[in-house]
């Protein structure tokens, strides 16, 4: 009963720590769903359940599908089942942010960010259905992955913003380093897009069995695998140079320690990803190693977002300013814009201000 009570309190009477805990749970759950989704794709299990929203036309749960092994079916169906805890976590994170009071007032920025999570998951379910119904069309598969990456970014921002104030952002590093941080985040996003194109062009886009029992490949992008792979690698080299330049710049300027540490985490992640990427290419794309590469890309995306957010800060809006903006009278005085002297005292011979 104590565990149940604490769980209910964590989102119905949330503290700062519990709200941040739900935000962290949203980050983890979205990262997990991306990596398990990649496992579905790379194991050719994308049609293990060939209907939507049911598994097959005759079964709601995992059932035999012609041309698919039982393992393929359960890999695909297991990924679908993970959407239920994902929805629950997103919903509870939103409730926690909505119920949370910082200094007696709602944090509207947290409410807006957290509301994107459940809405995005609904959109994901629709896109996921289209992926199945279009027989793994590569454009739909790419959209499915990128929407998940976008939701993961929202969850990361939410996690960071919970611990910050609700005021406007101000940089804590030099302007040129802030620009580099944005370039790094943008290039990483482009790299994720390029990765979906490589997968949709290459041999791991998936297979199915036709009505005659013959293996056929699912639709692919009609592009040169060598060319799209080279483009993907070129972006990776740009990310490498940008991350190193940013890390060095932060090291030798008055940058916060957290930003300097995060920069070197990103550099390490980029080097590791490069090693995995070139290894998988020269080994002719073994599915297991490609899956590790996708998982590394997810972690790198999180690290890059954290680095970008660590180059600025948000301070809390003063309670008096918030109250004045709402037309309320702060404790011990009147709103600042009323022209009342500091301290709230009104001279005896003062007359009301003329509008």
What is the radius of gyration, based on Cα positions, of the chain?
Answer: 25
| Distance separating alpha carbons of residues 343 and 334, to the nearest angstrom | 9
% of the chain exceeding 70 in pLDDT: 85
| Distance separating alpha carbons of residues 145 and 147, to the nearest angstrom | 6
- Asked whether the predicted pLDDT for residue 330 surpasses 60, the reply is no
pLDDT digits (tens, 9 = 90+) for 209-262: 555 544 566 778 889 989 999 999 999 999 999 999 999 999 999 899 999 999
Residue 131 and residue 50 in contact, taking contact as beta carbons nearer than 8 Å: no
* Top-confidence residue, 322 or 303: 303
Residue 273 and residue 211 in contact, taking contact as beta carbons nearer than 8 Å: no
Among the listed residues 230, 232, 208, 204, the one whose alpha carbon sits nearest the alpha carbon of residue 218: 208
Does the bond joining 190 to the residue before it have cis omega, within 30 degrees of 0? no
Q: Quick one: pLDDT at residue 206?
A: 67
Residues in the chain: 355
Does the bond joining 103 to the residue before it have cis omega, within 30 degrees of 0? no
pTM of the model: 0.86
| Strand, helix or coil for residue 309 | helix
**Helix-then-strand count for the chain, H and E:** 11, 6
Q: Mean pLDDT lowest for which of 8-22, 26-40, 47-61?
A: 47-61
The residues, any chain, with a CB within 8 Å of residue 215's CB and separated by 6 or more, are 207, 208, 209
- Asked whether the predicted pLDDT for residue 342 surpasses 60, the reply is no
- Asked whether the predicted pLDDT for residue 28 surpasses 60, the reply is yes
Cα first-last separation, the chain: 59
H helical segments located in 202-318 = 225-251, 257-282, 287-310
Q: Quick one: pLDDT at residue 172?
A: 96
The residues, any chain, with a CB within 8 Å of residue 237's CB and separated by 6 or more, are none
- Asked whether the predicted pLDDT for residue 336 surpasses 70, the reply is no
Q: Quick one: pLDDT at residue 212?
A: 52
Tokens of 184: 């790094």
Mean pLDDT of 53-79: 83
Residue keyed to tokens 């692919």: 220
């Amino acid at each position: 009963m104590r565990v149940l009570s604490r769980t209910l309190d964590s989102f119905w009477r949330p503290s700062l720590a519990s709200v941040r805990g739900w935000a962290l749970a949203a980050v983890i759950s979205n990262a997990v769903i991306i990596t398990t989704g990649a496992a579905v794709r790379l194991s050719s299990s994308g049609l293990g359940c060939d209907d939507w929203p049911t598994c097959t036309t005759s079964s709601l749960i995992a059932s035999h599908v012609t041309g698919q092994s039982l393992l393929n079916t359960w890999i695909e169906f297991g990924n679908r089942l993970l959407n239920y805890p994902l929805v629950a976590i997103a919903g509870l994170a939103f409730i926690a942010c909505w119920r949370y009071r910082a200094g007696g007032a709602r944090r509207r920025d947290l409410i807006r960010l957290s509301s994107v999570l459940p809405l995005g998951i609904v959109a994901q379910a629709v896109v996921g259905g289209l992926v199945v119904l279009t027989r793994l069309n590569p454009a739909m598969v790419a959209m499915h992955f990128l929407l998940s990456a976008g939701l993961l970014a929202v969850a990361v921002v939410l996690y960071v913003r919970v611990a910050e104030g609700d005021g406007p952002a101000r940089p804590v590093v030099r302007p040129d380093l802030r620009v580099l941080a944005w370039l790094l985040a943008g290039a990483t996003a482009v790299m994720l897009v390029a990765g979906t194109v490589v997968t949709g062009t290459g041999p791991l886009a998936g297979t199915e069995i036709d009505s005659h029992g013959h293996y056929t490949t699912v639709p692919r992008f009609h592009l040169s695998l060598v060319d799209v792979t080279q483009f993907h690698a070129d972006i990776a080299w740009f990310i490498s140079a940008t991350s190193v330049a940013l890390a060095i710049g932060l090291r030798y300027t008055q940058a916060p320690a957290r930003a300097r540490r995060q920069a070197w985490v990103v550099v390490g992640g980029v080097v590791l990803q490069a090693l995995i990427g070139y290894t998988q290419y020269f080994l002719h794309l073994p599915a297991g190693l490609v899956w590790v590469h996708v998982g590394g890309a997810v972690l790198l995306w999180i690290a890059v977002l954290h680095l970008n957010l660590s180059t600025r800060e948000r301070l809390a809006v003063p309670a008096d300013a918030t109250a004045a903006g709402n037309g309320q009278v702060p404790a011990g005085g009147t709103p600042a814009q009323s022209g009342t002297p500091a301290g709230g005292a009104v001279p005896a011979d003062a007359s009301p201000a003329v509008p």
